[in-house]
Structure formats: C-alpha cells, structure tokens
Amino acid sequence: MSVEHWDTEAAGVLRLPSGRTVRGRGLRRPVPAGLTPTFAVHLLGRQPPPVAWESRWLRWPDFRLPADRRVASSVLVEAWRRAAEERVEVACGGGRGRTGTALACLAVLDGVPPEEAVGFVRREYHPGAVETPWQRRYVLRFAQP
C-alpha cells in the first residue's frame, strides 16, 4: 500500500534518516488540518477514544515507561515498518515525553545510535522531547535484547 506521505515541513513531522516520516502530536489538541494518519500509536495510561483510522493503544502512563516493554517493542517496530509506506502518527497526551521517547526508539530502529537518539529527536521534533531520566534510559536500552 502506498499513500501520500506527511509533509516534512508540517508541525510535528519527524523525518528519520531513512526518509521515513512520522508525525508526533499531543492528543489533548485537535487533529491538525490536512492529511490524517493511516496508522496511529496512542501512548496513554487509559484506553483512548476510537479514531477513524487504524490505531494501537500502548498502555503507557504519563511520565512513566510502557506497562509491557515487549508489547511496546512490537508496536514500535510495526509503526517503524509501516512508516515506510504509510502515514504513521505517534501520540500521547501532550506530545512530548512519551511521544518523544517513542520517536527516539523509532530513530534507533532507523539506525540512529541509541546514545544519539534523544538528541536527534530534540533537534528534529521538539526540544522538550523525552522528559524524564528513565525515558532517556529506556531509549538507550531499547535496542538491547
């Protein structure tokens, strides 16, 4: 399946080194005008309301880490794979901590060294991305078995 990709100049869109694009956003804000996701990952402590596109809920309480790291890894790998051909969105309540952490994990999957992934996301997505020390540590350890 090939669809029109995110505009790399649009707010919240992160371009990974491979050319894949992923939109990060905060679910407390309205859906931006224009294209909608074809697939979304919602990083919330409680199940989100339904959306008009395919989505996965990853239980991830605010300022914390995913409730199940194996499930998180599987969902993030799926999001990274799908971003090659689809409009993937990663979203939490505010769009910074959990979203930034997940985007940094996608960057690791895309070849960014784990020790550089947080800096990459802070430069290319949002300077406040990945809010806590344990979120930074999660990114560092994400690629480890």
User: Could you tell me the mean pLDDT of each successive run of 10 residues in the chain, 145 residues long?
Assistant: 84 96 96 94 95 96 92 97 98 97 98 97 97 96 77
Q: Cα(1)–Cα(68) distance, rounded to whole angstroms?
A: 30
Q: How many domains does the chain have?
A: 1
Helical (H) or strand (E) element with 115: helix 114-124
Helix residue ranges, H only, 48-96: 69-82
In a domain, 58, yes or no: yes
Domain membership flag for residue 8: no
State which residues form the domain around 124. 13-141
Looking up tokens 């952490």 gives 101
Classify residue 87: in a domain, yes or no.
yes
Residue 100: what pLDDT? 98
How high is the pLDDT of residue 61?
92
Question: In this structure, is residue 5 part of a structural domain?
Answer: no
Whether residue 2 lies inside any domain: the answer is: no
pLDDT of residue 71: 96
Does residue 43 lie within any of the structural domains?
yes
Q: Is residue 90 part of a domain?
A: yes
**How far are the Cα atoms of 38, 107, 129 from residue 52, in angstroms, in the given order?**
9, 27, 27
Find, among 9, 4, 14, the residue nearest to 90 by Cα.
Answer: 14
101 in any annotated domain: yes
Query: pTM value?
Result: 0.96
CATH code of the domain in which 72 resides: 3.90.190.10
